Amino acid sequence: MFVLVILVYGAVAALELWLWAERPWKKVLIYLLLTAAAAALASLIVVYGKLPVPEPIGFLGKLFKQWWQGGGKQ
């Protein structure tokens, strides 16, 4: 499954790149980077099932909860 996902993402990327009229290296680089990121995410999900979602400002949430006592309760 893992291999299949990588292959599919790679194939789609290759196909689209081939369709481009011109290929400035900057664009190609960013395109490949983003595709790689998407493929990495997909394959991680395929392999591990449930991934934790990063919460860069999650600490703020805890702060809000403290301010608003019982905010989540009836």
Residues at the contact surface with other proteins, assessed by CB under 8 A: 9, 12-13, 15-16, 19-20, 26-27, 30-31, 34-35, 37-39, 41-42, 45, 50-51, 53, 55-58, 60-61, 63-64, 68, 71
Q: What share of the chain is helix, strand, coil (3-state, %, to 5)?
A: 70, 0, 30
Q: How far is the CB of 30 from other proteins (least distance, A)?
A: 5
In single-letter form, the type of residue at position 66 comes to: Q
Q: How far is the CB of 59 from other proteins (least distance, A)?
A: 8
* Of 48, 54, 29, nearest in space to 40 by CA: 48
